[in-house]
Chain A
Amino acid sequence: DTGVSQDPRHKITKRGQNVTFRCDPISEHNRLYWYRQTLGQGPEFLTYFQNEAQLEKSRLLSDRFSAERPKGSFSTLEIQRTEQGDSAMYLCASSSVGGANVLTFGAGSRLTVL
């Protein structure tokens, strides 16, 4: 197992375009988190999945953001009609239910909106 994988690592897009990020968690992990981090700040919570169920979602998420985890394995985060304020590092983390809930983070997907 190579840990949590995120793709793409870097994405540059023009304002108004849609972007999608993918996260592949550690195979036996059924908990999956998405966070957003801007320079000099701590990660900001976006959403949480347990298996395929989205159990918690930040109120900061507007209707332009959506996340899915259709089979309880990989997850996608889509941002529609991107704005310059969406430029950030998007981080995915996974953990297992029943364990100590130690989060394992991926390397992140850096989004730049021009």
Chain B
Amino acid sequence: KQEVTQIPAALSVPEGENLVLNCSFTDSAIYNLQWFRQDPGKGLTSLLLIQSSQREQTSGRLNASLDKSSGRSTLYIAASQPGDSATYLCAVRWEGTYKYIFGTGTRLKVLA
């Protein structure tokens, strides 16, 4: 069964800290993987997309890496800010399917 797991479920850090969010998935035959941000009561905003042939993608203070063989992706946030407080979701699309399966997310709180 294809599943996506995100640990920890919640994380609280002081402002300025660098942090890593984890995403693990079963079955390494993925097509691509996306990281999203969701603010309370709102829709999702795409942060980074990594194709199966790529190892990492960067956007500003965000860096996402992909290790298919181990079934893992990480989202690195540098110099965290209170405005980064949100739920971060990982979604995986496997080969042979169009759908994305989401993890349950990591709820991040950055303290000023």
Min CB gap B9→A, angstroms: 9
**Contacts A100-B51, A101-B32, A104-B46 given: A56-B99 contact, CB under 8 Å?**
yes
Of the listed stretches A14-22, A36-44, A61-69, A73-81, name the one at the interface; the rest are far from the partner chain: A36-44
Q: Interface size (A, Cβ < 8 Å)?
A: 26
What is the interface residue range for chain B against chain A? 20 to 34
Asked if B104 CB lies within 8 Å of chain A CBs, one says yes
Q: How far is the CA of A101 from the CA of B89 in the complex (A)?
A: 17
Min CB gap B42→A, angstroms: 6
A-facing residues in B1-17 (Cβ within 8 Å):
4
| Interchain CB contact under 8 A, A105 and B99 | no
Min CB gap A53→B, angstroms: 11
Min CB gap A36→B, angstroms: 11
User: Which residues of the other chain, B, contact A91 by a CB distance below 8 angstroms?
Assistant: 43-44
Number of A-B contacts (CB under 8 A): 59
The proximity string for A residues 22-41 relative to B, scoring 1 for CB distances below 8 Å and 0 otherwise, is 00000000010101000011
**Contacts A42-B89, A102-B34, A104-B46 given: A56-B51 contact, CB under 8 Å?**
no
Q: How far is the CA of A51 from the CA of B105 in the complex (A)?
A: 30
**Contacts A33-B99, A56-B97 given: A105-B45 contact, CB under 8 Å?**
yes
User: Which residues of the other chain, B, contact A40 by a CB distance below 8 angstroms?
Assistant: 104
Q: How far is the CA of A105 from the CA of B43 in the complex (A)?
A: 6
| Interchain CB contact under 8 A, A101 and B93 | yes
Asked if B77 CB lies within 8 Å of chain A CBs, one says no
Residue of A nearest to B9 (CB): A40
User: Which residues of the other chain, A, contact B100 by a CB distance below 8 angstroms?
Assistant: 33, 45, 103
Asked if B25 CB lies within 8 Å of chain A CBs, one says no
Q: How far is the CA of A40 from the CA of B102 in the complex (A)?
A: 12
Question: What are 10 inter-chain pairs, A to B, with CB distance below 8 A?
Answer: A33-B99, A42-B103, A43-B44, A43-B89, A43-B91, A45-B99, A55-B98, A101-B49, A105-B36, A108-B42
10 closest A-B pairs by CB:
A42-B102, A105-B43, A105-B44, A45-B99, A48-B98, A107-B43, A42-B104, A43-B102, A56-B98, A102-B46
